[in-house]
Structure 1
């Protein structure tokens, strides 16, 4: 199954509606191809905050396999505040929790992605933007 997507910063939900496969934009973004980011976000939040939020869909997933969701505020704060060691530990736990062969991600790639998303989360407050994610899994 092809999975493409990215975490990105946008001013609001209306701006977030303009993203997706083959749609160019100039928002700060981090690609997250090959994973289910909605599942990853819930695991990251559990690791970093001890809680799990309900994801807020901006574009609910339909039969076409496309969705956009807002990253929960508690996770954004935890990502921005977490140090590198904490992010690497959360990434390692996430990589080890992969239950399906096509859900696998190496610990090194997991850490790289989580650190890059954390950098986005850290810059969102100074930019007055919100953190979102879109992905396409047909």
Structure 2
């Protein structure tokens, strides 16, 4: 299980590479502890766009369990444009798919995370930043 993770906005890949677990930064961010965000992003994109992009690693996953990836532009656009009902429906499908025996993701937590990630995606254009995610899964 992923112990910690975060969706965040950064100026570019180089800035995103500087983000690490247990280090502070000033980027707008949404915590995503307890999930595999790379899997979530692919499910969200498939539901919201009908397609699935390859994730672009900024820091490839290594033996230490840490990675940073760029959230695909089609998903960022879809998140920013999706209404509350569409986000809720997507989150509920994702929660069902992502839950494992003994380690469920509650529907309420799934909806909350997706709504907060969508708000972050919506603010990226006006701030001239890109959406990234890091996670640590030892």
TM-score by length of 2: 0.96
**Deviation above 3 Å: which 4+ runs of structure 1?**
none
Distance in 2 (alpha carbons) for counterparts of 1:99 and 1:26: 31
* Structure 2 unaligned residues grouped into runs of 5+: none
Partner of 1:114: 114
Aligned to 1:6: 6
Q: Could you tell me whether the CA contact under 8 Å between 1:5 and 1:20 is conserved in 2?
A: no
Match of 2:93 in 1: 93
Once residues 102 and 55 of structure 2 are traced to their aligned partners in structure 1, the CA distance between those partners, rounded to angstroms, is 23
Number of residue pairs the alignment of both structures matches: 138
2: distance between equivalents of 1:98 and 1:44? 11
Closer/same/farther in 2, CA of residues 9 and 95 from structure 1, 3 Å limit? same
1:135 match: 135
Give the drift of 1:102.
5.8
The reply to whether residue 27 of structure 1 matches residue 23 of structure 2 is: no
Output one character per residue of 1:66-98: Cα deviation in whole Å (capped at 9) or x when no partner.
000000000000000000000000000001112
Give deviations 1:32-52, integer Å, cap 9, x for gaps: 000000000000000100100
CA–CA distance in 2 between the matches of 1:99 and 1:120? 24
Distance change (3 Å), C-alpha of 1:11 and 1:102: farther
Measured on the aligned residues, the alpha-carbon RMSD in Å equals 1.1
Separation (CA, whole Å) in 2 of partners of 1:102 and 1:54 = 30
Q: Identify unmatched segments of 5+ residues in structure 1.
A: none
